[in-house]
A = this chain, B = another copy of it.
Amino acid sequence: MVKVGIIGATGYAGAELVRLLINHKDVEIKWYGSRSYIEKPYAEVYQNLFQIVEDKCLDDNMEELAKQVDVIFTATPQGFCASMVTEDMLQQTKIIDLSADFRIKDVTTYEKWYNIEHKSPQFIDEAVYGLCEINRDQVKEARLVANPGCYTTCSILSIYPLCKEGLIDTSTIIIDAKSGTSGAGRGAKVDNLFCEVNESMKAYGVTTHRHTPEIEEQLGYAAGEKILLNFTPHLVPMNRGILVTAYATLKKDVTYEEVKAVYDKHYEKEKFVRVLDKDVCPQTRWVKGSNYVDVNFKIDERTNRIVMMGALDNLVKGAAGQAVQNMNLMFGFEESEGLESVPMFP
């Protein structure tokens, strides 16, 4: 049994890691780290785990933790992981960081968008961007994985094949994304109260959201050119789910079949990316609770644009599920182990 430690186990992403890892046959959670709830039984914070998890919450002493476990998940605020990780730790344990600390290769870009000094830039090069479908081979060898953001995963997987194959003018990409409220975290803020979110919708972080440079960087690798794009996130009154609607101008006339072939080329063998049938739009209800991403597209001949769409569960494929998928790759487990649950509907 692989021994696992989680730092930030009482946030929504951390709790989702717990949910998934409990049903994973090859691992054992040894450390429920939560600075806010030290000494409190984990199942009092998340009562769904009553009589399932007996452990108490521990602190976030990563140095000690590194000695005890084979892999550490950090589901922590920006800057935490970068401020803690050392070469010593990485020789003792693997790290899968769910924060943004090691996602962006250009440290200046990171520091500008996150407005924070990077405390361990020396590990940025080594860190593997853990989008399994794209970087599978590197993940397998990694000591340190930067688990992608939720919006990012959905955006990239929706657009990637067309960037890679050069079908779209990358200077025209616009991503309009919508997220359930668990993406806003479990902090006690007036703006996230039930009565403030329910029966409403809003854009936020317009032109300034931090997932923008992450998407630009990864799509840039695919396209082989620098990309600047618009990314607008929105808050939706639902618990889980991200829906991406992306737009770009086609570089040449293409048929539905040609574009479909491009998506299939990249995703046909991917268990967790489902290219839907013609004219079927992705919906978050069909992926809830699962690691699937549903993608599809629609060509608009009137405007010569293509509309690319994707849907995933922000806590699973957008966070904890992808982290588990990365762990499976890193430890040589079946890639889908612990992630076989069928999407739950309704």
Contacts and interface: CB of A to CB of B under 8 A. Distances in A.
Contacts of A186: 190, 193, 195
26 contacts: A23-B342, A47-B280, A49-B343, A50-B276, A174-B305, A176-B232, A182-B346, A186-B193, A193-B193, A194-B197, A194-B237, A194-B239, A196-B285, A198-B239, A199-B238, A201-B243, A201-B283, A202-B282, A203-B281, A206-B281, A206-B307, A206-B309, A228-B303, A230-B305, A236-B237, A341-B341
Given A195-B12, A307-B207, A202 B342 contact: no
Contacts of A182: 195, 346
A200 B241 contact: yes
Interface residues of A, number: 82
Contact of A307 (B232, B240, B276, B285): B232
Each complex incorporates copies of this chain amounting to 4
Interface string A132-164: 000000000000000000000000000000000
Interface stretch (A64-72, A89-97, A294-302): A294-302
A26 interface: no
Interface string A36-66: 0000000000111111100000000000000
User: Which of A174, A194, A196, A245 is the most central at the interface, judged by chain B CB atoms within 10 Å of its CB?
Assistant: A194
A192 interface: yes
B188 A189 contact: yes
A188 to B, nearest CB: 4
Contacts of A194: 181, 192-194, 196-198, 237, 239
A199 B202 contact: no
Interface of A: 12, 15, 18-19, 22-23, 46-52, 174, 176, 178, 180-182, 186, 188-190, 192-204, 206-207, 228-230, 232, 234, 236-241, 243, 245, 247, 274, 276, 280-290, 294, 298-300, 302-303, 305, 307, 309, 311, 340-346
